[in-house]
Amino acid sequence: MSRFLSYWDSARIAPEEFSRQYFAHAAQQQRDSAEPHPEIDITRVFLDLLREFGVAQADALSSICPRVLRVLSLRHFGTYPDVLPGLERLRGRFRLGVVSDAQVPFVHSEIKTAGLGPLLDVVIVSGEHGIQKPDRRLFALALDRLGVGPDEAVYVGDNVERDIQGARAAGISAVLVDRRGRFDAAASPYRPDHVVGGIGELCDTLLGPAR
């Protein structure tokens, strides 16, 4: 990021110092929140950071830097092979949505790149609301936008603490995707209603075997 800024602006910031200050600003933003599961606003983090470093075009750059950081830090991007075919099967019977711990500046572009956009009716992004999963309000918001009650929905996730705990707190049936078979029910305080090994198995459970 410091190299990018040196090309864009006259700013000369040591990479180590930039990184240190970035994480310090993000942590401070979370500490300033009264929420039990606070989420940062990455654009605001960069705006405060760039102003502190005296970058002349801080306002304009604060909306660009999150995307640049994402590109620089991304090592692998894609979906499991069963995801798109599975969602296409489910789309024939259900309205679909996503509740994601992510940031607004890049998540919508990534959903589009992954080919998920046409399959989703609702996308709830934690960075837009200042809270993360397992806060039940994110799940409740998804229900509201989908126009269904908790007893009419199923939430599917791969993280027991964030996904399963949050969905169950919102009164939604929760399915854990455990691709590696590592979930230990005896050791976990959060119990999914079902455990599946992938999206294909989920589809077979909800729709019956494909013909």
**Per-residue model confidence (pLDDT) at position 197:** 96
Q: Which of 11-15, 97-101, 187-191 has the lowest mean pLDDT?
A: 11-15
**Per-residue model confidence (pLDDT) at position 40:** 97
Residue pLDDT, tens place only, 80-117: 999 999 999 999 899 999 999 999 999 999 999 999 99
**Per-residue model confidence (pLDDT) at position 47:** 96
* pLDDT over 70 at 121, yes or no: yes
pLDDT average, residue stretch 134-150: 98
**Which residues 6+ apart lie within 8 Å of 78 measured at CB?**
114
**How many other C-beta atoms are found inside a 10 Å radius of the C-beta of residue 1?**
17
